[in-house]
Every structure is written in C-alpha cells, then in structure tokens.
Amino acid sequence: MSPTPSRPRPPRLRSAALSVLAVCAALAALLLGAGAPPAAAASSLPCDVYGAAGTPCVAAHSLVRALYSSYNGPLYQVQRARDGAKKDVRLLSAGGYADAAAQDTFCSGTTCIVTEIYDQSPRHNDLTVEGAGGAGAADVGAPADALPVTAGGHQVYGLEISAGMGYRDNSTSGVAVNGQAEGMYMVTSGTHVNNRCCFDYGNAETNNLDTGNGHMDAINFGTECWFAPCYGQGPWVQADLENGLFQSDAGYSRNTYNTGTGPMPFVTALLKNNGQNHFALKYANAQSGGLTTTYSGGEPTAGGYSPMHQEGAIVLGTGGDNSNGSIGSFFEGVMTAGIPTDAADNAVQAGIVSVGYGGPTGSTGSLTPGSEISLRATTSCCTTEYVRHQNDAAVISPVASGSSALDRNDATWIVRRGLADASCVSFESRNYPGDFLRHFDFRLRRQPMDGTAQFRADATFCPQTGRSGAGTSFASYNYPTRYLRHYDHDVYIAGNGGSNAWDAGASWSDDVSWAVSSPWAP
C-alpha cells in the first residue's frame, strides 16, 4: 500500500451531533416511505442511510463524491507519468463532490493513473492496484482522465477499467467472512462492458487464487453468460460466488424478463446475501426510477455455496483469481455488514438518482472544455446533417427537433481538453460515458478511452478557422495535414488530394469546415 497522508475518519454514528442528525434524517426517510425520493441533502448519503438502518458500511469507495455526509477526506490518489509524483484528490467540501480540477492541474502536460481508491468508512479498506493472481498477471492502474462525467452539477471523473486493470485489498477489516451476511451496490455503466471474466466489485479471496465454491460474494456486471440460458443481450447484474456468475440458485436465469440493462449509461447494480440460504440481485437506472429485483431466493444448489465461505478481501475490476480480461466503469460502491432492508436500498437508489449522473454540463455551443455541442456540416448538400455515432462509427445524418431522443443524443458531444494536447480538444459521446471520437484507419469511430498514447493521439483534434473561410476545421493531432471531413455521409480524417476516395479535392474545404452549434440532447 502506498504511503498516504493522515486523513480524518468519519465520526461514528453515535458519537457526533452531525451524525445524530444524519441518522434522524435517514430514519425519517425510511419511515415516510422509501419509494419517495428524499431531498438531495448531505444528511441522506448512502452510508448514513445504511448505518441508520442497522447495516453500517464496511467499505465505501467513490471517485465522484462522499458517501457519508461527514466525510471530508481524500477520495483517491493519482500518480503522474512525468516524475512519478502522487497526489490525493479530495472533496470540494465535506459530504460533497471531488475536486477534479485539482487533478487536472496536477496532471497538466502529462498523464496520470489512479493508484489508490480510499475507503471512506472507519474500516479504511483502501484499494490499491492488484497484483498477480492465479489467472492474470499483475494489473496496471486505470488512466485518471478516461471517464469524465457530470455528477451533482460538477465535472468529475469515474474509473474506466480496460483489460489488465484492477484494484484489491486482501487485508480488510469488518468485511463478511465464513457465511456472514452482507450487502453491496455499485454504480456502473451499461455502455462499457464485454463478455470476459470478470468485472466484479465485492468480496473475494485473500490470496488472489480460486479457492473454491462460495469463497467469493461479489457483484458482476457484463455480458458473459456463464450458465445458459441467459435472456436478451445483457449486460446483466449477476453474483460472482466463485466458479460461476449466478442469476439464480440454478445459475441460469429463471426470469425470462431479465434481458439485461442494455446500453444504459448509468446503472445501479445491487447484491445482498445472508451467507446461509438466500441471496438477491437488483438493478436500476441510476438516473431515474427505482430498483427492480431480478432474483430473490436460495443459494446455488451446487455444493459449497450454502453456507458461503467468503474470505473478506475486496476486489474491483477483476475476478477473485485476478481474471482480468473484462472492461467496465465504476463511479461509486459500498459494502455493508449485514443485509440492508429493502427500504434502505430504495432510499439509497433515490439518493443516487438525485446525484444527476450524466446531467448537463452547464455549458453549450462552444469549444470550451466541458461544453456540450453538435457539429453541423456546412457543405451546401448537407447543412441539416450532423456528426453522430451509429453502430460505433461516425456518420453525418439529418437531425432536427422532431428526431428521436436516440438520434439527438447520438449527435451530441462533450468537448474535453485534448487527450494528447490540452491546447486542442477531444469529443466525448454524450450517451456513452468514456467513449470518444477517434480515427482508426482514417475512419472516425466512437470507442472507449483505454489510456494508451495511441488512443490519446487519435482522439485529439486541433481547431482552426474553417478552411472554407467560415466555421471551424479540426486538424488531426497526429496527422496535422488531415482534417475531420464528411465524405459520402461517413466521417474521416482527410487530406486535400491523395489516393483515398475521401481525400478528393472536390468540395474539400467545405467538407472539412463545421458549424459548432448548441447540442441536440438536453
């Protein structure tokens, strides 16, 4: 574990006046009916609610926000490539949101990775980059700037996991072991998933090895169907209980309506397990609505799961034996001692919705970082057509006020500081958090940011006065004589003349000149 500065522990719920108020507020929310969203007050943050319900958090991790109203310590640590220096990213205020601007300043002119994710609970179960295990080599830290997002009206970062990345704590305090009851949730994303093992958050082995059935108890989120049949395309919220991703006691889904969340940008995934004879799975849209239970019933019928044999390590982004081929997104998550009530779960979900994950940035229509825009073609043929993603590729197509919400979202981009050069820009997808517009074989595509230097360069574009004399043209950072161009309704980086069809000189200056407009998505 990396040396960390002294940080205040959140007061125990019975020892401070502020925490007493938090308990009262949370209990009032529960008694008045958990189905009604509580006010977005700091006194009803997730660990306040769970603590008031008698199931205190034993782990509370987030890059985005405080999970206790009283917490005022660091959220995570970053390390920059230029000199190896490290910095803790803290909160703007107690019970508030991350000071992401401090990260941006510290990492300016270089790149940073996330080296540690601090546990906000009094247990101090901090997560560091995972070492080698039975199924995977030692992991690397996730790029600190790969997943910009709006939360609580603030510009912050989530954690974007690519294959070979993961975090762990094998020496924890208070986490369930040997059949003890526990609950857990995480806020993740349905737009950044795959079918590899295993994007998990929760209880795992303490030796990075597969030690047998029932030695894990973790939320899994992805499109890997371990036990057929699985219904729909996923991704599904499943329980990684070791040697299987379970949707029921039989392993396979007993619920034909559970077809997965689909590409929902923000998902609440929840698992609770009494460690003896019952577990339950739930999910929700983290932006609106309540929880849906997809399974509530007995432990798996195979041997070793009833009772469970949890070992009490905490894993994020990999399987228990460091199976690390998965990808995923993580914004926040907690683990509790004991099984939370459904009322507490509902209150926590309502609080998550109140955060406003993925909400408007507050700026529109300019190339200032953080502004939301749409890019309109200026060539006379196509002045009602905008750059949008479709089946992962960039195209131009007509978009208007009467277009579907999907079309308008696909045609909206968030301007970010250039991933390879802060004086240029990158374009993040509005409805696929952490996915950026980048060129590959000259074609523009929407792809998740993986932190590599190649991706950073391919996804960086440098604005200049439109080559037609109007609008804005965007030169490729790593091919500076090539510009963002539409050709036959597809989008490329194109030179003025060359062997490729999209380099044709006819109408080139108009095709590479764009109108930066207000976004189509709200």
Q: Is the torsion defined by CA of 100, 102, 107, 113 positive or negative?
A: negative
Q: If DSSP codes are grouped into helix, strand and coil, which group holds residue 223?
A: coil
Domains of the chain by start residue, with CATH: 17-355 (2.60.120.200), 372-517 (2.80.10.50)
- The yes-or-no answer on residue 441 being catalytic is no
First CA to last CA distance, the chain: 43
- Residue in 305, 286, 289 with CA at minimum distance from that of residue 297: 305
Cite the DSSP H helix spans in 45-121: 46-52, 100-106
Q: What is the pTM of this model?
A: 0.92
How many angstroms separate the CA atoms of 85 and 1, rounded?
15
Say whether 299 sits in a helix, a strand or coil.
coil
Q: Name the catalytic one among 48, 224, 321, 510.
A: 321
397/116 Cα distance (integer angstroms)? 43
Between CA 81 and CA 439 the distance in angstroms is 25
Question: How far is Cα 509 from Cα 107, in angstroms, rounded to an integer?
Answer: 36
Strand, coil or helix: what is 501? Answer: helix
* Residue 11 DSSP one-character state: P
- Of the residues 116, 182, 242, 249, only one is catalytic, namely 242
- HSE (side-chain half, CA atoms, 13 Å) at 200: 31
Residues with Cβ within 8 Å of residue 77, at least 6 apart in sequence: 2, 4, 86, 87, 88, 89, 114, 115, 116, 117, 118
What's the rounded mean pLDDT across residues 295-304?
97
- H or E element in which residue 316 lies: strand 313-316
AA identity, residue 17: A
Residue 43: predicted pLDDT: 57
**pLDDT for res 510:** 98
* pLDDT, greater one: 21 or 229: 229
**Percent of the chain at pLDDT exceeding 90:** 91
Cα-based torsion angle of the residue sequence 94, 99, 102, 107 in order, rounded to the nearest 10 degrees: 130
DSSP label at residue 234: -
Res. 40 pLDDT band, cuts 50 70 90: very low
| Alpha-carbon distances of 177 from 185, 316, 380, 480, rounded to whole Å | 18, 18, 67, 57
| β pairing state of 313-316 and 182-188 | unpaired
CA 140 to chain centre: 17
Q: How confident is the model at residue 7 (pLDDT cuts 50, 70, 90)?
A: very low
- List pLDDT tens digits, range 160-185: 999 999 999 999 999 999 999 999 99
Task: State the Cα–Cα distance between residues 152 and 331, nearest whole angstrom.
Answer: 13
Q: How large is the C-alpha radius of gyration of the chain? A: 23
Residues 339-385 have pLDDT tens digits of 999 999 999 999 999 999 999 999 999 999 999 999 999 999 999 99
Bridge partners (DSSP) of residue 337 are 182
Strand partners for 218: 202, 240
The span from the CA of 340 to the CA of 53, in Å, is 7
6 has a pLDDT exceeding 60? no
Q: Is the pLDDT of residue 11 over 80?
A: no
**Residue 299 is encoded by which pair of tokens?**
């432990």
Q: Tokens 């825009």 label which residue? A: 373
Reported as a single tens digit per residue, the pLDDT across 87-115 is 999 999 999 999 999 999 999 999 999 99
Active site residue 321: yes
pLDDT value at 33 more than 70? no
Mean pLDDT of 403-419: 97
Give the rounded distance of the alpha carbon of 469 from its chain centre: 40
Residue 522 pLDDT: 81
When pLDDT is cut at 50, 70 and 90, the band that residue 14 belongs to is very low
